[in-house]
Amino acid sequence: MKRQLGAEKRLTPLPTQHEKPSDRSMLWGRVAIVATVVFYLIYLVTTIIRQFLDGDSQTFRFTMEAVGYVIVVTFLTLSALVYLIARQGALERFSTHVRVPRAELDRHFGENESSMTVLVPSYAEEPNVVRATLLSAALQEYPSLRVVLLLDDNPNPTDPAVIARLEATRALASDISDLLAEPRIRLTDARMHFELWADTDGVLGSDETLDLAEHYAWAANWLNALAEAETVEDHVDVFFVEQVLVALADELRLTGRAIAASIADGSGLPVSRASQLYRRLAWTFDTELAVFERKKYASVSHEANKAMNLNGYIGLMGASYRIEESPAGDILVPTTDVANADLTLPDTDFLLTLDADSILLRDYCLRLVYFLQQPDNARVAVTQTPYSSFRGAGSRIERLAGATTDIQHILHQGMSRYGATFWVGANAVIRKRAVEDIVEVEYVGGFEVRRYIQDRTVIEDTESSVDLGTHGWTLVNYPERLSYSATPPDFGSLVVQRRRWANGGLLIMPKLWKQMRERKRLGEPISRVELLLRVNYMASIAWASFGLVFLLAYPYDGRLLSPVVVMAALPYFLCMASDLRKTGYKASDVLRIYGFNLILLPVNLAGVLKSVQQALTGKKIPFARTPKVKNRTAVPLLYVVAPLFIVGFSAFTFWRDYTAGNWGNASFAAFNTILAAYAIVAYIGIGNTIADIWRGLTNWLYVETKPKAVVAEPAAVTASIDWRSVLYYGHADGASHRTPRHRVERARDEELVA
C-alpha cells in the first residue's frame, strides 16, 4: 500500500521500560480526577437542580429532557473518570516498577527449567507475516520451548493461489527449524562440552573465558547475517529486523564483550555463572516447531473461531494418538502405546497464546514466567504485556488506530493496579493448571469437546477473564512493553475489528455478578474501584454509543447546557493529549481520535445490537476475523453511508440551532461536523467512499450461479453402498421407511448371498 500524506515517519518503538512519571505528573493526575468530579457536581447543582428549584417554566417535556440529559452526561462523565483512574493507576505502577536484572533471570531459570508451548492460531495469513511471528517466538531465551502453528485454513482448497499460500505456511515450521539448525547444533554442543568438563566450584580460565565470548560473538554475527538477508517491505518488517534480530544480536555481542572483559579484571568468571551463560545461549536457538491442523481430523471441533482453534489443541495435550480413517475423515484415537503413536502432544507447565500478526521481544517469556513463579503470584493465572503498535504506519488510519492502541496499553496497565485486569487475546502467558480449572466438557457426535477458552462471544478473552476470577485466579499485566501487534491499515478491516470488539460485553455481565457473589462468599469481595473498571470495560461502548447518538440527534433545551459540562470533560481530553504526546504522537491527535470515534459510531452500535440479538435468540454471532490483506478491504454500504449521514445531520443541526440562537447546541454541532468530515476525508477517503457506495448499491445486481444439484434416481442410490458410512454411522435417521421397493431390494440381497 502506498504511503499516505500524514502517515507516521517514526520507526523507532517506545522504550521497553515505561518512563518513570514525575511527582508533577502524579499530582496533576490526581487533580484531574478531583476536577472531573467537582465540575460534574457543580453542573448538577447550578444547572439541573437550580432549574427545578426555580420551577417557573417547568413542563413534562422539559423534565424528561433533563432526566435524559443527566443520564447521558453521567455515563459519559463516568467513562472519562474511569480513564483518569486507570491512567493514574498506571502512573503509580510505572513509578514503582523495578526491572529484574539479567543475572537473576539466568540464576532462576538455571534452577527452574519449566516448559512452555507457544500456540499461534492462524487463518488465511500471509506466510511472511506468520514467519516473523514464529521466529520471534522461536528466538525466545527460554529453557524448554515448543512453538506450534495452529493452522485453521481449509486443508483441501481448490484455488491455486490459496494452495500455494497454504503449502508455504505449512512449510514454515520445518523451514525455521532448518534455519536454526546450525546455531542450535553448535551452541548445544558447546554447552554440553563445557558442562562435561567444567569444575563447578572453580573459576573460568582465560582460554575458556575467550571460548565463551567467541560463542557469543559467533551467535551475534549469525543473527546479523540473518537480518541482512531478510526482505524488508514495510514498517513491520523493519521492526522485526531491528527489534528482534539485530537487537538480540547486539545484546549477545555486548554480553560476549563483557565476558572477555572479565579477564582484564583479574577476578575471573565463576564456572557456575559461565554455565548459566552457556545455557542461555543454547536455549535461544533450541526450539521445537510444529504445525497442527485441526480441520484434518473429524474428531476435533471445527467451529469457526479462534477460541476453538486453541481449545482443540489444548484439549489434546498430554497424550498420544493413533490416526484412524472414518467416512467423515481421519479421527484421533488415544493410545498408551507411545512408541507406535502417530501423534504425541506433550503437556507443558505454561501456554503462550500469540496472534499470527504479533511479535514478541526477546525476553518476553523469561520475564513473564519469572513473574508467575514468584511465591506471591501463585494464584496468577494469566500475565501479559498488552500489545503496542508498530511505528511507521503507512496510512493515516493505521497511525491513529496505533495511537488508540498505545493509549489502551496504558489503561490496561492501570487496571492491574486495582485488580481489574482483562486478558487481551493478542498475547498472554497462561498457567496451564489455571485453565484446567475452568474447562467445560461436552460431547458432540460422540467426540469429547473441551472448552478452556469460552467461544460464546467473539471477545473470548474477556469472558475467560471473568471465568478465571470466579475460580479464585487473578490476572496481571506486566508493566513493560514486550509485545507488538499489527493495527488495521484501512477503514474496511478496522470496521471488522471494532465491530467484533463492541460485541459481547453485555452478554458477559451476568458472569461478573456471579463472580461478585462467589468472591464475597470466599471472603475476597470485589472493591468498588475494581467493579467500576470492569463494568466500564464491558459496557462503556454500549452506553457511550447510545449517549453520543442522543447528543447528536436530539435538540435538548438550551437551559440544560452549561460551560461547566465542558469543564468536567476537559481533564479527560487534556490528560489524553498528554498521554499521546508522551507516546510519540501529537497532542492534537486527541481531536482526530474524537472525529475517528464519530465515524466509528455506527460500527460500535452494530456490535452492541449484535449482543442484544444474541441475548434474545441464543444463537452465537459468527466470529469475523480481521482481514489481513495487502489491498484495501471494501466497506459495507451501511458503514460508509452512516458517517456521511452524521456529517449531514450535524450540519443541519448547526444551521437549525444557529438560526434559533441556541449557541451551545450550535457550537457542539459545528464541532462534530468539522471533525467527522475531516475523519471521512482523512481515514476513509473521498474516492474510496464513492467506490464503496457504488459497490454497495450495485452488488445486488450480480447473482452467483450455483451448480444444479444432481438428484440420483432410486435405482442408482441402491446400486452401490458406501459400506464404510453404513458401518460407521448406521442408518441415517435410525428409522425404517419401507416402500414397495423393499421386495426388489430383498430379492437383490438374496441373490448376493447366494
In the predicted structure, residue 406 carries a pLDDT above the cut 90: yes
| Gap between the Cα atoms of 282 and 141, Å rounded | 9
User: Of residues 170 and 65, which shows the higher confidence score?
Assistant: 170
Which pLDDT score, from 0 to 100, does residue 57 have?
61
The tens digit of pLDDT for each residue in 642-699 reads 999 999 999 999 999 899 888 888 999 999 999 999 999 999 999 999 999 999 888 7
- Cβ neighbors of 189 (< 8 A, separation 6 or more) are none
- Ranges of beta strands (E only) in 566-721 are none
**Closest residue by Cα to residue 221 from 246, 196, 186:** 246
Mean of per-residue pLDDT scores for the chain: 88
Q: At what angle do helices 102-111 and 364-372 cross, to 10 degrees?
A: 70
In the predicted structure, residue 58 carries a pLDDT above the cut 90: no
| Gap between the Cα atoms of 565 and 573, Å rounded | 13
Which pLDDT score, from 0 to 100, does residue 751 have?
46
Backbone φ and ψ of 350, nearest 5°: -130, 155
Q: Binning pLDDT at 50, 70 and 90, where does residue 625 land?
A: low
User: Are 331 and 324 within 8 A, CB to CB?
Assistant: yes
- Averaged pLDDT for residues 30-51: 93
User: Are 496 and 402 within 8 A, CB to CB?
Assistant: no
User: Are 431 and 369 within 8 A, CB to CB?
Assistant: no
User: Of residues 632 and 487, which shows the higher confidence score?
Assistant: 487
Which pLDDT score, from 0 to 100, does residue 754 have?
43
User: Are 299 and 306 within 8 A, CB to CB?
Assistant: no
| Gap between the Cα atoms of 471 and 72, Å rounded | 35
Which pLDDT score, from 0 to 100, does residue 590 have?
96
Which pLDDT score, from 0 to 100, does residue 674 have?
96
In the predicted structure, residue 59 carries a pLDDT above the cut 90: no
The tens digit of pLDDT for each residue in 600-609 reads 999 999 888 8
Buried b (16+ CB within 10 A) or exposed e, 305-320: bbbbbbbbbbbbeebb
Backbone φ and ψ of 538, nearest 5°: -90, -25
241 in helix, strand or coil? helix
Query: Kind and range of the H or E element at 54?
Result: helix 50-54
In the predicted structure, residue 741 carries a pLDDT above the cut 60: no
User: Of residues 619 and 510, which shows the higher confidence score?
Assistant: 510
Which pLDDT score, from 0 to 100, does residue 619 have?
76
Model confidence pTM above 0.85 = yes
| Gap between the Cα atoms of 336 and 709, Å rounded | 45
* Beta strands 427-431; 350-354: pairing state: antiparallel
Which pLDDT score, from 0 to 100, does residue 620 have?
73
Which pLDDT score, from 0 to 100, does residue 748 have?
47
Q: Binning pLDDT at 50, 70 and 90, where does residue 32 land?
A: very high
| Gap between the Cα atoms of 456 and 307, Å rounded | 9
Instruction: Tell me how far the alpha carbon of residue 201 is from its chain's centroid.
Output: 47
Q: Which of 80-84, 270-274, 479-483, 700-704 has the lowest mean pLDDT?
A: 700-704
| Gap between the Cα atoms of 78 and 84, Å rounded | 10
| Gap between the Cα atoms of 32 and 579, Å rounded | 13
